[in-house]
Structure 1
Amino acid sequence: MTTTVNDEGTAATVSTNDEVLERWRDKKKYLWPLSLLPALVTFIAWGLVELTGNGIFWWSGPVLVFVLIPILDVLIGDDGQNAPDEFMDELENDPFYRWVTYLYIPLQYAGLAVAVAMWATGTLSILESIGLAVTVAMTSGIGITVAHELGHKKQEHERWLSRIVLAQSFYGHFFIEHNRGHHVRVATPEDPASSRFGENFYQFLPRTVKGSLTSAWELEKKRFERLGQSHWTLKNDVLNAWLMSVVLFGGILVGLQALSFAGVLTNYSIWNVVPYLIIQGVIGFGLLEIVNYLEHYGLKRQKLESGRYERCSPQHSWNSDRIVTNLALYQLQRHSDHHANPTRRYQTLRTFDESPQFPGGYATMIVIAAIPPLWRKVMDHRVLDHYDGDITKANIYPPKRDKILAKYGQTS
């Protein structure tokens, strides 16, 4: 007797009492270590510079993320595989997948150490140093996906690892706001991390940075008020997350200064390092925020008669199932399932046909979002189609509301 559990998975056969049971397997399982490539991009850049003698390769990070991955997404296409319900618990508890996220962290910080050493010697040109900073930012920015994955888990050590990842981009408050703010207010006008129809990324960025920071602080302040305690304590998760960044960067500068005094670094200046640490941090959290911009653009949960918003559904997140970006971002593109099941591990996230779909992977859409006229051309009609032509159902950017309604034949 042969039983087929799922046609989309690969199968292996095992014999039980002379019967053959066809068993589902995750055909991507041994591809997941490729997710560590963004953590290695500083080493890849260093190797290419050493091999060729050409400093242009310090810019390898953005080439990997914004050129190579989108090309591979097109060539390789979609994933399309969902784990059967019968195998979800087994897949969720397989430690192999967990270690793929854990290993990102030492590789991320080893890459930072290499970059700091290169800057500190003063041997790179300004252009090369900026290129290296942008490459490092690709590691820390994509590392925020690891922080996102770990920060949703119930295990306390994983939540601390999340904050360690975020320390490099000085964005530790994301851990608080995302879990307790964004997941509550997603796809509503009150959410600073949900972009609005007609709002370009450069308008969204200052709003979400300020709003997310304010939200995180208020969430922790209210938590301590409920406890009857002052929020000015290191138990405040915003403060202890920021302290990790202070210790990280302070430790780097103190260590470099000590090496300079000892004569190990003969050409060291603090200005060889500090500007590039700032650049990598800003671009790193900027990469997070442009992904936030993509994920819920123009989508809105409607209000019920009670005055509350409807529950978040697969209709409230933009998704993609391009396999290469899925590997690079730990299936963050299966965003609807993530909002439905926030604690679910990346390997078990599912793709839904009913979810609104991007025409490309997140890596491709980041490039498009950076060019506002192109973004509007690609995405605005998709939002309109999603709401069957009724633009009043969309989350509209208030300064452009009247203009948008007039354009699509609607009134306030």
Structure 2
Amino acid sequence: MVFTIVPLIELIMPSLTSNLDAESKESKLKNKLFDILLWLNVPIIFSVLIYGLYMYSISNFETYEVMGLIFTLGIVAGSNGINVAHELGHRQESWERFLGKILLLPSLYMHFYIEHNYGHHVNAATPEDPASARYNESLYAFWWRSVINQYKNSWSIQNRLLKVNDQSFYSIKNDMLWYTVIQLSYLIIIGLSFSWMTSIIALCIAVVGFSLLEIINYLEHYGLRRVQKKSGRYEVVREIHSWNSNHALGRILLYELTRHSDHHYRANKKYQLLDYHENSPQLPYGYPTMMVIATIPPLWFSIVNKHVPQEMIELSENKNRHL
């Protein structure tokens, strides 16, 4: 239903390009409701997840019911879990970042915190970033490349951080080690509490959850490239290096993630304050609709490729081009 009714509704809802004035921004920044809406996802998601796993463990579901359960809980883990975790992961308060990491647990994607903050935001829209889709790269090719290389990058970043701080691999500061222990413990606890088959269901839910993230990753930077200077460094991330969408429903459901251009331009800005930039590449439809289209590569290429700036297509085809 999420990927049928929502896209249809989105087609008839308006695209809102207006930005808040200074007074409205100040008011929304002080309004704690926007923060509470994020925090509430922690008890909601884990309550729904535990209830779903419990019902599976005591019921004799048909195959189609099991599939429905996996996809339903996976969508919750991805849209309300990882999406909100992404927002909280950029917060200044350590306890909010902690909540963000907890929300990554149902998708077994806790390494996302490290790779996203220390990798993706540095390398977005460059060949070095596994979470930036290449021009003419299908979603399915991207999925494998992104999932595998983001995990590898997370360990590389973690090892570098440990080295900089003169810490050993087995240091308490090794977050990647903690994430591994916590996620394995999560599956073991589910197995001991319900059944080992329920742990497998939880694993399947996680795959759906992080796959939802990867579809969104695919949309956000597809075909966009930053210019590499003669020094080897890339130009600063600007509004033109992320796909933007102002379609109202997608903005509401995804906590303004669809104004991704401004998020990368100013990563510490809270979601309710994100702006629209006229020079940002605009997706022809909202994120929910584009997610469906992305699953059909020929359709995606026919719709999106003509919107990719020509100069970025040339950069994709010639990685050695310099300023």
- Return the TM-score normalized by structure 2: 0.94
Equivalent in the alignment of 1:199: 137
Equivalent in the alignment of 1:116: 53
Equivalent in the alignment of 1:213: 151
Choose the corresponding residue for 1:392, options 302, 314, 323.
Answer: 314
Taking a change above 3 Å as real, the CA distance of residues 297 and 85 of structure 1, as seen in their structure-2 partners, is same
Counterparts of 1:83-232 in structure 2, within 5 Å, are 83-142=20-79, 143-232=81-170
CA contact (8 A) 1:317 1:335 kept: yes
Distance between the aligned counterparts of 2:214 and 2:317, measured in 1? 19
When the two chains are superposed, the root-mean-square deviation of aligned CA atoms in Å is 1.6
Choose the corresponding residue for 1:361, options 280, 286, 308.
Answer: 286
Q: Which AA in structure 2 matches 1:270? A: W
CA contact (8 A) 2:167 2:173 kept: no
Distance between the aligned counterparts of 1:242 and 1:88, measured in 2? 39
Q: Does 1:292 align with 2:229?
A: no
CA contact (8 A) 1:73 1:325 kept: yes
Taking a change above 3 Å as real, the CA distance of residues 247 and 270 of structure 1, as seen in their structure-2 partners, is closer
Higher relative contact order at CA 8 Å, sep ≥6: structure 1 or structure 2?
2
Distance between the aligned counterparts of 2:318 and 2:200, measured in 1? 34
Equivalent in the alignment of 1:27: none
CA contact (8 A) 2:240 2:261 kept: yes
1:304 offset after TM fit, Å?
2.3
Distance between the aligned counterparts of 2:172 and 2:295, measured in 1? 37
Distance between the aligned counterparts of 2:132 and 2:285, measured in 1? 20
Q: Does 1:243 align with 2:149?
A: no
CA contact (8 A) 2:188 2:199 kept: no
CA contact (8 A) 2:125 2:221 kept: yes
1:326 offset after TM fit, Å?
0.6
Deviates more, 1:354-363 or 1:114-123: 114-123
Equivalent in the alignment of 1:68: 5
1:324 offset after TM fit, Å?
0.7
Distance between the aligned counterparts of 2:68 and 2:233, measured in 1? 47
1:397 offset after TM fit, Å?
10
Q: Does 1:343 align with 2:268?
A: yes
Equivalent in the alignment of 1:38: none
**Can you give the 5+ residue segments of structure 2 that lack an aligned partner in the other structure?**
none
Taking a change above 3 Å as real, the CA distance of residues 113 and 396 of structure 1, as seen in their structure-2 partners, is farther
Distance between the aligned counterparts of 2:164 and 2:196, measured in 1? 44
CA contact (8 A) 2:215 2:291 kept: yes
Distance between the aligned counterparts of 1:337 and 1:233, measured in 2? 36
CA contact (8 A) 1:197 1:397 kept: no
1:80 offset after TM fit, Å?
2.3
CA contact (8 A) 2:246 2:286 kept: yes
- Which has more radius of gyration? 1
- Return the TM-score normalized by structure 1: 0.74
Percent identical pairs in the alignment equals 37
Distance between the aligned counterparts of 2:190 and 2:199, measured in 1? 10
1:396 offset after TM fit, Å?
4.6
1:275 offset after TM fit, Å?
2.9
Query: Secondary structure at the residue paired with 1:168?
Result: helix
Q: Which AA in structure 1 matches 2:313? A: I
CA contact (8 A) 1:337 1:349 kept: yes
Query: Secondary structure at the residue paired with 2:107?
Result: coil
Distance between the aligned counterparts of 2:4 and 2:82, measured in 1? 20
Q: Which AA in structure 2 matches 1:281? A: A
Equivalent in the alignment of 1:374: 299
1:235 offset after TM fit, Å?
2.1
CA contact (8 A) 2:190 2:199 kept: no
Distance between the aligned counterparts of 1:307 and 1:227, measured in 2? 26
Distance between the aligned counterparts of 2:90 and 2:26, measured in 1? 17
Q: Which AA in structure 1 matches 2:178? A: N
**Can you give the 5+ residue segments of structure 1 that lack an aligned partner in the other structure?**
1-62, 257-268, 399-412
Q: Which AA in structure 2 matches 1:387? A: Q
Taking a change above 3 Å as real, the CA distance of residues 243 and 397 of structure 1, as seen in their structure-2 partners, is farther
Distance between the aligned counterparts of 1:342 and 1:363, measured in 2? 22
Q: Which AA in structure 1 matches 2:314? A: T
* Count of aligned pairs between the two proteins: 318
